[in-house]
Structure formats: C-alpha cells, structure tokens
Chains A and B, each alone.
Chain A
Amino acid sequence: MAERLRRARGSGVVLTCWLVGSVLLAFIVVPLLGLAAVQPVRNLVRVAAMPDVRLAIWLSLLAAFLTAGCAAILGVPLAYVLARGTFGGRDVVAAIVDLPLAVPHTVAGIALLIVLGRQGPIGGPIGEVLGLRFWGTLAGVVAGMLFVSAPYAVNAAQIGFEAVDPRLEKVARTLGMGPWGVLLHVTLPLAWPGIMTGLTLTYARAISEFAAVAILAYYPMTAPVKIYEMFLQFGLEDASAMALLMLLVTLALFILFRGLARRRARFAGAGR
C-alpha cells in the first residue's frame, strides 16, 4: 500500500508539472494558431507572391544569419574566457553581456545611431576610411540585430564550455597538442551543443527584432518592418498572412538547425 502511494505521489509530481507546463505551451501555441486560423490559404499564397514580401523575408533571414556569424566570432571567445577564467571582474563582465536584454529596443537603436551614425565617434571614421555605413544599410540591420541578440550566444556558449571537463583539455595537452589545437579539437567539439543552442537563440532573437533595427535601417526592409507597413497599408489580414509566412519559414529553419546540430554530434565520433 505504501509502495503504491509512493509511486502515485511520484507520478503525481510529473503530472502536475505537465499540467502547469501545458498552460505555458498553450499560451505560446494558441495565439499563433489564431493567426493561422484566420488565414484562407489563398491569402497566404497571394501575399507570398508579392516580391517585396519575399525580399523582406529573405533580407531578414540573411541579416540574422550574418548576425549569428558575428555573434559566433566575437561572442564564443568571450564565452570561453568567462567559463574558464578566474579574473576578478568576471561578474561585471557577465553583467555587461546581459545588459542589452534590459535596454528598451528603441533606446538601443538610438544609442547605436549615436555611435554608428554619420557623426558618430565610430560610424564617422569607419564611413570615411572603409566606406562602411550603418544608416539605411544591411550593416545597420545587422548592428541592431546583434545588439539585442548577442547575450543569448554568449550565455549559452558559456554553459557549453563549462560543461567540458578541463581534465580532458589537460590530457590533450600532454598528448602533445598546443593550446590552440586543444581548443579546436577537444574543447569546441565538446562545447558544440551549447554553442549551437546559443546561435539558434541568437538567430531567433535577431530575426524578430523591430525597433532597434528600424531606427538604423527602415529601408532595406526587414520582415518585421514590412509586416508593420503591410498592417498600415492593407490591414490586419494581409499583415498576419505575412507574419504567418515568416513563422513557417523560421520554423522550418529551426528544425533544420536542430537536425544539423544533432547529426554533427553523432558523426563527431565516427572516423573520417
């Protein structure tokens, strides 16, 4: 009797968690389903046929990809020193990394404009010397996206690195591999799932950013800006058709990313 009670209580915990958790799942899924439900398929097709709709979606995908790339190149090394380092200001650095999450997006956009604009301390010289401008360009889109999404890359990659046993790195050193080799052949492959999660989250966050991007670059139009313009021009139905289109494309991409990450993990061990 006690055994049965105990088992019931154990599964009761799981059941309660599912009940509570499914509320959250519903909270996410139902509004999105609502978006889908008001769409006749031919509306989706009509909106998808608009060339500037497709262009905006493509631009968003491309810019988010570049953003994830920048986050990887700049953020993963930072995550590494945060994970392994024992320097004093570690907490301060980690807090700085998380700052963009707390900044309102319009404020973030204006702050970036102050620095990267024509008269900005960084934007001015870069514009003169390299011809790289951030106002109304793809670079501006990426800058806006990167600011708001970089924390996700760093935090998840840091967790990934922390999960790698430092003793494995030590063994690799004694086997004759220098520090860079160890990073490339041992640390990175083992931290890969964490890094990949971080980059996927970065991509997701970047692709949905509106306010920060819109201040730096309204044209070229990213999908969120285009969706808003469509709402103003044509109304709710067309705007939500484009939003749904955007979601479907993004969903397909995420499934692809997850599949790629898993396949790489599986093949990492097999001989070449």
Chain B
Amino acid sequence: MTTAALVIEAACLTLGPFSLRNLDLTLAAGEILVLLGPNGAGKSVCLEMIAGFHRPQSGRILIRGRDVTDLPPEQRRVGLVFQNFGLFPHLTVARNVAFGLRTRRLGHARAERAVVDLLRQFGIAHLAGRSPQHLSPGEKQRVALARALAARPDLFLFDEPFSALDARTREVLRDELKAFLREAGVPAVFVSHDQTDAALLADRVAVIDHGALRQVGTVASVFRKPANYFVAAFIGVENILAGRLLPRLGAMSRIRVADAVLHAAGADDAAGDVLLSIPAEEIGLRPIDGLDALGLCSSTNRIAGRVSEVRSMGALVRVTVDCGFALVACFTPREARALGLSPGQAVVAEVEADAIHILRDQVNCR
C-alpha cells in the first residue's frame, strides 16, 4: 500500500474567533482533493495549517508519511500557490523560479541549468528576464508552478488561484493546471468556493463549513448524493423537499411530501421526517392528458401539477411546477420550445426513483 500523500488526524485549531474542530482528512498519492466551502468556512486556514503557518492545538499532520506537525513551513516540502499566484514582484521570472531551487543546494552552474530546463518545460523560456508585473494570468500560473515545482514538493496547495479571473481564463487555466498535476504526479489540495472547479479538477471533494467537514467523497457521490442540507444547498441542488418517511415498499423508500407519495431507491427501516434532494435536470415534464397514470410506474414517479413559472436563465430554461409543493426543472431552450410550456398549464412531472436522494445525515431532523 502506497503511503498516503496527506493525512490530517483529529486536528483542532482555534484561531481567534475561528476554530477547526476535529478535522480528519486523507489524501491518496497522486490525488487531487478540492476543499469546497463558502467564504469564511475555514478553507484557507486549513490550507495554511497544512503548510505549517498555524499549529493545531491537538492532532497530527503527516505528509507522505512524515509527521510534520512540529515542523516549520520551510521543512514541510509543500508548494503553495495563492490567488494572483504570488510571484515576487521585485524579481524577474527566472529569479522567481530560481527561488525554489535554494533548498536543493545546487552549485551555481547546475542551478542555472535547472532554471533553464524548468522554464523550457513550462514553455516560458522567452519570459526569463521579464518582470512578473505584466504577465498574463496564464503566464503567471506557469511561472508559479515552475517555481513551486523547482522545490520538489511532496504536496501542492492551491488557495483559490482563479478567484479573480474571468470565466474563460479560468477554464483555460484549470485545464492547464489539471494536465500539469496529472503529469507531475504530485498530489494537491485545491481550495475553492466554486463548484465548477470541484467538478472539473477533483478526484475527491471535501465540503467544509465553519471549520467542520460536512462531506468527503468522490465528485459523483458529493454532487449526486449530498449527505446533508448544507452540502445540498451549497452545491446548488434546486429541489430540497421536506417529507415524512412511510413504511417501505420492497427495495424502495416511500416518502410523503405534501399530498404526494414519492418513491426513492434504496431502503432502510428508518422513520420520521426526512429531506429529499432532486436535481432539476432529473425532472421531466409532459403536458397532461386524461389517460396518464400517476404515482409510481415501474421505477418512475409521476406527479401531477401546474406550471407556475417559466424563466429563461440564459443557456437554460427554468420551469417551476406547483405539485402541492414546488418542483424546479430545467431544460434547454430547444426542449422548452418543443414542450410548449406556459404558466398555468397542467403537466405531469416525472422523476426516476434513483434520482431522488434522501439526505441521510438528516433523517429525523432538519
């Protein structure tokens, strides 16, 4: 079994009014973990703790099997990249990159060669003598990565490097970064408040709020099966419904929501109030005709309702249906035109049983 890239064991840190409570986190070799959470959740503090700028009051931090809890940042072998990439403005690109070589104690000549090699590897050799002030974000990212890589880190840490960039530039840089990390094989913790970063970069996602982890898992599990209300709301699930668990039906759970009964895949013998999450894109709509069967048909839930709002959101159309409770569905403009939906229209909403997810952490209470 290969050594885990990063292990945080029961770390507790209090920093003024803020605290990390019993944080447990593991990162496998070569893995990219995205630490996702709203502003003020403690993502940056957590990152700085890993880097060595805050010492946890209890717990341990191991990087590639080494216990670094007591080590100062310069001995932890981590590479740090900040928003705006943190290039030293008083040094040229070449000297910025050379900065990372200091600890390796190469001779003057070998260090110079190493810098040249790195610059060439990142395609920025032509920028060697330039000041970092006037580089494009893409160029800056490459310099920052080259500099960090020069120090041969065991772990990369990224603190919202794309926050200040426009969407298009973000996309390009994100792709470049992912390619770089894959090739370098160095594991990374990437902090962000943007789920798109998580969706496109992460092997695993950890959602954090107020210093505590709310859910850790693969992108698919977090986005498809949020564990609790916070995660569901944070990742932007449009439909979070409150209901009451009824006795189960075979392998499916039955939940009463307002006047309807919904069937969700996966059953256990719990009871009480639950929250359900249903992504908008999993809801289909059809104009009703008198012969429609409602309720559960094979594994599809069919609920009758009336369209209450049709709103264009640019690339998508959001349709809100009143079924005794609100259901939000979204379609492409083409689909919406084909369905001919308009407010007041009577429709049938169709949802697959396995698209309805019960927020397990919140069985019995909200």
Which of chain A's residues 159-200 have a Cβ closer than 8 Å to chain B? 165, 167-168, 170-179, 181, 185-186, 189-190
A-B contact pairs, 27 of them (CB 8 A): A168-B88, A170-B53, A170-B82, A171-B81, A173-B52, A173-B72, A173-B73, A174-B73, A174-B79, A174-B80, A174-B157, A175-B79, A175-B102, A175-B103, A175-B147, A175-B148, A175-B150, A175-B151, A176-B74, A176-B102, A177-B74, A181-B102, A185-B99, A186-B88, A269-B89, A269-B92, A271-B95
> CA of A189 to CA of B129 in the docked complex: distance in angstroms?
18
> CA of A170 to CA of B53 in the docked complex: distance in angstroms?
8
Q: Judge whether A232 is part of the interface by a CB distance below 8 angstroms.
A: no
- Known interface pairs A167-B82, A271-B94. Does A174 touch B88 (Cβ–Cβ under 8 Å)? no
**Which of A173, A177, A265, A270 has most chain B Cβ within 10 Å?**
A173
Q: Judge whether B91 is part of the interface by a CB distance below 8 angstroms.
A: yes
Those 3 A-B pairs whose CB atoms lie nearest each other, nearest first: A176-B103, A173-B73, A174-B80
In this complex, the interface size class of chain B, counting residues with CB under 8 Å from chain A, is 20 to 34
Q: Judge whether B131 is part of the interface by a CB distance below 8 angstroms.
A: yes
Q: Judge whether B48 is part of the interface by a CB distance below 8 angstroms.
A: yes
CB distance from B186 to the nearest CB of A (A): 13
Q: Judge whether A268 is part of the interface by a CB distance below 8 angstroms.
A: yes
CB distance from A27 to the nearest CB of B (A): 37
Digitize B150-191: 1 where CB-to-A-CB distance is under 8 Å, 0 elsewhere: 110100010000000000000000000000000000000000
Q: Please, how many residues of chain A have a CB less than 8 angstroms from a CB on the other chain? A: 23
**Which of A167, A189, A269 has most chain B Cβ within 10 Å?**
A269
CB distance from B235 to the nearest CB of A (A): 28
- Chain A hits for B52, CB < 8 A: 173-174
CB distance from A234 to the nearest CB of B (A): 51
Chain A, residue nearest B76 (CB): A174
> CA of A168 to CA of B83 in the docked complex: distance in angstroms?
11
Chain B, residue nearest A165 (CB): B86
- The answer, among A170, A173, A190, for a CB contact under 8 Å with B89, is A190
CB distance from A269 to the nearest CB of B (A): 5
A-B contact count (CB 8 A): 79
> CA of A171 to CA of B100 in the docked complex: distance in angstroms?
10
Chain A, residue nearest B73 (CB): A173
**Which of A168, A171, A270, A271 has most chain B Cβ within 10 Å?**
A171
Q: Assess the B82–A171 pair: CB atoms within 8 A.
A: yes
CB distance from B160 to the nearest CB of A (A): 11
Q: Assess the B102–A177 pair: CB atoms within 8 A.
A: yes
> CA of A185 to CA of B131 in the docked complex: distance in angstroms?
16
Q: Assess the B92–A178 pair: CB atoms within 8 A.
A: no
Q: Assess the B90–A189 pair: CB atoms within 8 A.
A: yes
**Which of B76, B100, B148 has most chain A Cβ within 10 Å?**
B100
> CA of A102 to CA of B59 in the docked complex: distance in angstroms?
52
> CA of A268 to CA of B132 in the docked complex: distance in angstroms?
13
- Chain A hits for B89, CB < 8 A: 190, 269
Which A residues are within 8 Å of any B CB, using their own CB? Answer: 165, 167-168, 170-179, 181, 185-186, 189-190, 265, 268-271
CB distance from B128 to the nearest CB of A (A): 8
- Chain A hits for B86, CB < 8 A: 165, 167-168, 171
Q: Assess the B92–A270 pair: CB atoms within 8 A.
A: yes
> CA of A14 to CA of B82 in the docked complex: distance in angstroms?
38
> CA of A173 to CA of B82 in the docked complex: distance in angstroms?
13
User: With A173-B73, A174-B151, A190-B88 given, can you name 15 additional A-B contacts, CB distance below 8 Å?
Assistant: A170-B80, A170-B82, A173-B72, A174-B80, A174-B148, A175-B99, A177-B74, A177-B102, A179-B72, A181-B102, A185-B99, A269-B90, A269-B91, A269-B131, A271-B92
- Chain A hits for B92, CB < 8 A: 269-271
> CA of A181 to CA of B88 in the docked complex: distance in angstroms?
14
- Chain A hits for B74, CB < 8 A: 173-178
Chain B, residue nearest A178 (CB): B74
> CA of A173 to CA of B102 in the docked complex: distance in angstroms?
11
> CA of A257 to CA of B157 in the docked complex: distance in angstroms?
42
- Chain A hits for B78, CB < 8 A: 174
- Chain A hits for B91, CB < 8 A: 268-269
- Chain B hits for A185, CB < 8 A: 99
CB distance from A163 to the nearest CB of B (A): 11
Which of chain B's residues 50-96 have a Cβ closer than 8 Å to chain A? 51-53, 72-74, 76, 78-82, 86, 88-92, 94-95
Q: Assess the B95–A269 pair: CB atoms within 8 A.
A: yes
Q: Assess the B99–A172 pair: CB atoms within 8 A.
A: yes
- Chain B hits for A269, CB < 8 A: 89-92, 95, 131
- Chain B hits for A168, CB < 8 A: 86, 88
Chain A, residue nearest B16 (CB): A86
- Chain B hits for A172, CB < 8 A: 88, 99
- Chain A hits for B79, CB < 8 A: 174-175
> CA of A178 to CA of B71 in the docked complex: distance in angstroms?
12
- The answer, among A165, A178, A270, for a CB contact under 8 Å with B72, is A178
- The answer, among B73, B95, B102, for a CB contact under 8 Å with A170, is B73
- The answer, among A175, A268, A270, for a CB contact under 8 Å with B100, is A175
- Known interface pairs A168-B86, A270-B129. Does A174 touch B102 (Cβ–Cβ under 8 Å)? no
> CA of A167 to CA of B144 in the docked complex: distance in angstroms?
13
Q: Assess the B129–A170 pair: CB atoms within 8 A.
A: no
Q: Assess the B94–A174 pair: CB atoms within 8 A.
A: no
> CA of A269 to CA of B88 in the docked complex: distance in angstroms?
9
> CA of A171 to CA of B99 in the docked complex: distance in angstroms?
10
Q: Assess the B90–A268 pair: CB atoms within 8 A.
A: yes
> CA of A175 to CA of B152 in the docked complex: distance in angstroms?
9
CB distance from A261 to the nearest CB of B (A): 13
Chain A, residue nearest B130 (CB): A269
CB distance from B197 to the nearest CB of A (A): 19
CB distance from A7 to the nearest CB of B (A): 30
- Chain B hits for A179, CB < 8 A: 72
CB distance from A177 to the nearest CB of B (A): 6
